[in-house]
Structure 1
Amino acid sequence: MKKITLLLLMGIALFSCEKNKTSDCGEKMCTEEFASVMFKFVDNKGAGAEVKDFNVINQRTGERITANSSIYTSTIKGVFIIVDDNNKLDLSEQGDDLKITGTSVETGQTKSVVIKVSGGKCACHINKISGPEQVAFD
């Protein structure tokens, strides 16, 4: 009886190993780190600017992106988490253009920039491909 139980367990283990090897993404080794992309709005002197009407729109889908980790950030004036690993399924593997927009509380000026960030279901982490890290109000 012990041999039959052992054979059954080995068969189940082999079956489940094969199942993992045939996933759509193949075998990957991912780190435990949590990636995010930050962006900063500054005034004409380079200091952090207070911003209202902040938003991030994925230009491919037209959907608004909100980084879940942004609610846990410290309140550094003008600094925002644009996207994080919780958003990787919202992004394509080739990278999506994300339009970042904000309005200066002080001057009323609105500025927009576009950055490119990749993700996808097989990505371990999001990855910023291109674009500025900050924008300055006049």
Structure 2
Amino acid sequence: MKNLILALLMGSAFLSCKKKTTDSECGDKICTEEFRSIVIRFVDNKGIGTEVKDVSVVNQRTGEKVYANSSAAANLIAGAHIVVNDGNTKSLSEEGDDLKITGTSVDTKQTKSAVIKVQGGRCACHINKVSGPEQIIFD
């Protein structure tokens, strides 16, 4: 009788080890702990960082505004703005989304825009810039 109970316990323990441990559609993934941000600089016609107002980032696929939820100090560099970071990964598509960045120069009152393409996705560990300028130049 003891052997039968022991065999049943061992059998159930063995069968329970075959169960899938993750229910994620993303599978087993190991991500690094780095935190990526994409910064764009607004510069004047001499290449010097300039102060801008009314900076907005809009996902052209969804029409929604994108907010980089970062306390990083990129805004301490003249004209530099964090436009998207790893906090936005899940709201971006794996194929990449076009993000329209717009800002108005405080000095010249001129408004300029640029489009960058950024990948993300529900299963992505980090954002990835595919294309687009590093800076927006005011005339």
TM band (smaller chain):
0.7 to 0.9
Aligned partner of 1:33: which letter? E
For residues 65-105 of structure 1, what are the alpha-carbon distances to aligned partners after superposition, in whole Å with 9 as ceiling and x for unaligned? 01011x43141110001100010011001000000000000
Q: Is 2:101 the partner of 1:83? A: no
Structure 1 runs, 4 residues or longer, greater than 3 Å off: 3-15
Aligned to 2:93: 92
Alignment RMSD, CA only? 2.1
Aligned to 2:63: 62
Higher helix share: 1
Separation of aligned partners in 2, 1:105 and 1:10: 69
Separation of aligned partners in 2, 1:73 and 1:45: 24
Q: How many angstroms does 1:13 deviate by? A: 6.4
Q: How many angstroms does 1:11 deviate by? A: 6.8
Aligned to 2:3: none
Aligned to 1:33: 34
Provide the secondary structure at the position in 1 that maps to 2:89: helix
Q: How many angstroms does 1:30 deviate by? A: 1.4
Q: How many angstroms does 1:6 deviate by? A: 9.2
TM-score normalized by the length of structure 2:
0.85
Separation of aligned partners in 2, 1:39 and 1:31: 24
Aligned to 1:116: 117
| Identity across matched positions, percent | 58
Aligned to 1:73: 73
Provide the secondary structure at the position in 1 that maps to 2:40: strand
The correspondence of residues 44-55 of structure 1 with structure 2, limited to 5 A, is: 44-55=45-56
Provide the secondary structure at the position in 2 that maps to 1:19: coil
Aligned to 1:136: 137
Provide the secondary structure at the position in 1 that maps to 2:48: coil
Query: Structure 1 residues 42 and 25 mapped into 2: Cα distance closer, same or farther (>3 Å)?
Result: same
Q: Specify every segment of 5 or more residues in structure 2 that has no aligned partner in the other structure, as ranges.
A: 1-5
For residues 19-69 of structure 1, what are the alpha-carbon distances to aligned partners after superposition, in whole Å with 9 as ceiling and x for unaligned? 31x521122221111111110000111110100110000000110001011
Provide the secondary structure at the position in 1 that maps to 2:124: coil
TM-score normalized by the length of structure 1:
0.85
Query: Structure 1 residues 84 and 8 mapped into 2: Cα distance closer, same or farther (>3 Å)?
Result: farther
- The higher radius of gyration belongs to 2
